[in-house]
């Protein structure tokens, strides 16, 4: 909770003002039953109509003032909790974007989505209700007891006899509730992940007639969420019936003792009626407290999960390294890396590129091609070896500076719901319309101009209203925009026909001759003209050289060439 409280402190002044108003309104509200007792005991028996009207009017004014204070305070609490949660959600999102890929893998994407949505919502509810009910309920509870004690000490002692039991009940149940709601949120993470996976793969699911299978998987996760939520809800919902039982027992005792005292002439009927009104106020206050503990349990669980992300240490820090006097643009020096830290996913990889040169990387699925790109972008740090750009160890380069060097198309890149121009520009306002046009032409994406709205054509989320080849060409247009020193293309032409692919390669060679390029491909035709080709198998280098050199000395490359192009020794 300390992390969330640090977001509350800047609003301490506004919260203090709101609380003063709330306290004022609540205290004024506590005067109403006392005024009623004065009317019933002092003026009704005497038939004093003037006194009755005066105190009745005073009650109306008091009720109106209490309403204005409480309504104003509630409005302020809504504003402050909104602002706090918005800032918290913004910083959480910023932190998520700064997490290393290893940290994202550890938290999981589904869990991060859940923390950004349902957990922040629960924290918002907690902050809002704590400002409103958290001030009002204790004042009504303590104030009601104090006023009733002044009016009728004996009846108050009868009421107080049940409060220790109520306090113990609320404490025990709420303490267990935090843990149960945390487990519920963890189950919700799993359901979000399965929902995300199913929606992303809905076409494949339908094509393979696996709708029933996916429904069963979702229902399994849904049932786990429901079961855990029900377990938490059952525990928390014990509070109200148990409180009602204890309070009704106390109320019965109060009525019996009050009737006895009225009969003995010790107290007046107006006092007993006022006491019952205060008893109702105290009852409602206790109900508010029980609701607060449910809301707090959810909010505290969410706050803890949010704090795990916000308090996570930044892993990929800049380090000091002595620069090398090197003309090489990119250098991998005996680099090894493992995702699970058990067996290397890439092992002892070395290659170098001068400015403007092209490296092609080819190999079977799972051979480590995309991992090399992730290491170059410093999404992960290598377990051993070093990576240099222009003689600088990439660990010494600021992340924003490092990433600004690259134009990138990932194997599983994304298109968001907006027009084509926005997807290509991608928030880079310094890119001119002429740059966008050139990048479209270079990416062989002339189909864009044939769209009804041209470059302003709206795209669906994920580019679902584009074909695979069209989507790749939009992504290539995005990568080609801007002034980049290094171009990384990860299987970015796999959906293109051979003619379009050939046109793309010619355009890259012509327009990006001074840009260093790393092209990951499954087709030899996409990389055969590269200055160097790296052949991978099971994370290890099995060939390195030009197309002709590899045909003569690398059996794996020869086999790929034989299958794809009919080339032989």
> 337 φ, ψ to 5°?
-155, 145
Check residue 147 and give its pLDDT.
Answer: 79
The SS3 of residue 339 is: coil
Measured distance CA(503)–CA(491) in Å, rounded: 16
> CA angle 189-190-194, nearest 5°?
120
Say which residue the tokens 């380090």 belong to: 319
Measured distance CA(557)–CA(454) in Å, rounded: 42
The SS3 of residue 540 is: strand
> CA angle 72-78-83, nearest 5°?
130
Residues of the chain with pLDDT under 70: 1, 170, 174-175, 178, 197, 199-204, 206-209, 236, 239-240, 325, 566-569
Residue 52: CA count within 13 A, CB half-sphere: 9
Q: Looking only at Cα atoms, what is the longest distance across the chain?
A: 121
Measured distance CA(484)–CA(92) in Å, rounded: 30
- Give me the long-range contacts of 557-560 (CB less than 8 A, separation at least 24): 557/362, 557/524, 557/533, 560/362, 560/524
Measured distance CA(476)–CA(436) in Å, rounded: 11
Check residue 65 and give its pLDDT.
Answer: 92
The 10 Å Cβ neighbour count of residue 545 is: 17
Check residue 544 and give its pLDDT.
Answer: 94
Check residue 569 and give its pLDDT.
Answer: 46
Check residue 319 and give its pLDDT.
Answer: 81
DSSP 415-451: --SSBHHHHHHTT-TT--HHHHHHHHHHTT-GGGGGS
Cβ neighbours for 54, distance < 8 A, ≥ 6 positions apart: none
Check residue 495 and give its pLDDT.
Answer: 81
Check residue 130 and give its pLDDT.
Answer: 86
Nearest CA-CA partner of 518 in 378, 406, 425, 398: 406
pLDDT digits (tens, 9 = 90+) for 494-552: 888 888 988 998 999 888 889 999 999 988 888 989 999 999 999 999 999 999 999 99
Q: What is the pTM of this model?
A: 0.71
Check residue 178 and give its pLDDT.
Answer: 67
Cβ(411)–Cβ(490) below 8 Å? yes
The 10 Å Cβ neighbour count of residue 291 is: 16
Euclidean distance between the first and the last CA atom of the chain, given in angstroms as a whole number = 68
532-537/358-362 β-pairing = parallel
> 347 φ, ψ to 5°?
-130, 120
The 10 Å Cβ neighbour count of residue 263 is: 9
Check residue 206 and give its pLDDT.
Answer: 67
Cβ neighbours for 141, distance < 8 A, ≥ 6 positions apart: 282, 285, 286, 289
Nearest CA-CA partner of 336 in 383, 395, 379: 383
Out of 1.20.1560.10, 3.60.10.10, 3.40.50.300, 3.30.465.10, select the CATH number for domain 2-310.
Answer: 1.20.1560.10
> CA angle 474-476-481, nearest 5°?
100
Cβ neighbours for 231, distance < 8 A, ≥ 6 positions apart: 180
Cβ(522)–Cβ(501) below 8 Å? no
Check residue 174 and give its pLDDT.
Answer: 65
Query: Using CA of residue 67, residue 69, residue 72, residue 76, what is the dihedral sign?
Result: negative
- pLDDT > 70: percent of the chain: 95
The H or E element spanning position 103 is: helix 101-107
């Amino acid at each position: 909770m300390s992390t969330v409280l640090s977001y509350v402190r800047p609003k301490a002044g506004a919260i203090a003002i709101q609380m003063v108003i709330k306290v004022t309104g609540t205290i004024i509200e506590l005067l109403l039953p006392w005024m009623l007792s004065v009317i019933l005991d002092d003026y009704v028996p005497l038939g004093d109509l003037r006194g009755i009207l005066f105190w009745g009017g005073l009650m109306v004014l008091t009720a109106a003032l209490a309403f204005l204070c409480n309504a104003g305070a509630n409005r302020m609490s809504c504003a402050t909790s909104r602002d706090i949660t918005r800032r918290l959600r913004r910083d959480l999102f910023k932190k998520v974007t700064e997490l290393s890929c290893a940290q994202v893998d550890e938290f999981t994407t589904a869990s991060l989505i859940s923390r950004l949505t349902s957990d922040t919502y629960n924290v918002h509810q907690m902050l809002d209700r704590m400002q409103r009910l958290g001030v009002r309920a204790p004042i009504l509870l303590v104030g009601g007891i104090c006023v009733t004690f002044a009016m009728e000490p004996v009846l108050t002692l009868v009421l107080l006899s049940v409060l220790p039991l109520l306090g113990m009940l609320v404490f025990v149940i709420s303490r267990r509730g935090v843990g149960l709601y945390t487990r519920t949120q963890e189950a919700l993470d799993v359901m979000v992940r399965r929902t995300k996976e199913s929606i992303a793969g809905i076409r494949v699911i339908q094509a393979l007639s696996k709708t029933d299978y996916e429904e069963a998987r979702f229902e399994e996760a849904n049932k786990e969420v429901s079961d855990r939520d029900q377990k938490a809800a059952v525990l928390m919902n014990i509070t109200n019936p148990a409180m009602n039982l204890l309070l009704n027992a106390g109320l019965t005792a109060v009525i019996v003792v009050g009737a006895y005292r009225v009969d003995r002439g010790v107290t007046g009927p107006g006092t007993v009626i006022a006491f019952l009104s205060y008893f109702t106020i105290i009852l409602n206050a206790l109900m508010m407290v029980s609701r607060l503990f449910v809301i707090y349990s959810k909010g505290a669980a969410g706050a803890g999960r949010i704090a795990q992300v916000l308090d996570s240490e930044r892993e990929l820090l800049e380090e000091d390294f002595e620069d090398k006097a090197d003309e090489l643009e990119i250098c991998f020096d005996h680099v090894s890396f493992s995702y699970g830290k058990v067996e290397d996913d890439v092992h002892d990889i070395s290659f170098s590129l001068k400015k403007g040169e092209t490296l092609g990387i080819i190999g079977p699925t799972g051979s480590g091609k995309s991992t090399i790109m992730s290491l170059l972008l410093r999404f992960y740090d290598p377990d051993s070896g070093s990576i240099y750009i222009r003689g600088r160890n990439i660990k010494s380069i600021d992340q924003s500076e490092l990433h600004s060097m690259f134009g990138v198309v990932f194997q599983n890149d994304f298109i968001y719901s907006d027009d084509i121009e926005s997807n290509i520009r991608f928030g880079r306002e310094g890119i001119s319309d002429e740059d966008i046009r050139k990048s479209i032409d270079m990416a062989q994406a002339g189909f864009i101009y044939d769209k009804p709205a041209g470059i302003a054509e709206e795209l669906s989320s994920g580019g679902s209203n584009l074909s695979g080849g069209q989507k790749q060409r939009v992504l290539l247009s995005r990568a080609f925009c801007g002034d980049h020193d290094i171009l990384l293309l990860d299987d970015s032409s796999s959906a293109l026909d051979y003619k379009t692919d050939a046109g793309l390669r010619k355009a890259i060679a012509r327009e990006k001759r001074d840009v260093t390029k790393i092209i990951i491909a499954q087709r030899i035709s996409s990389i055969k003209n590269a200055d160097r080709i790296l052949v991978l198998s099971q994370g290890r280098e099995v060939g390195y050289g030009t197309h002709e050199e590899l045909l003569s000395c690398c059996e794996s490359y020869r086999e790929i060439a034989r299958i794809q192009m009919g080339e032989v020794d």
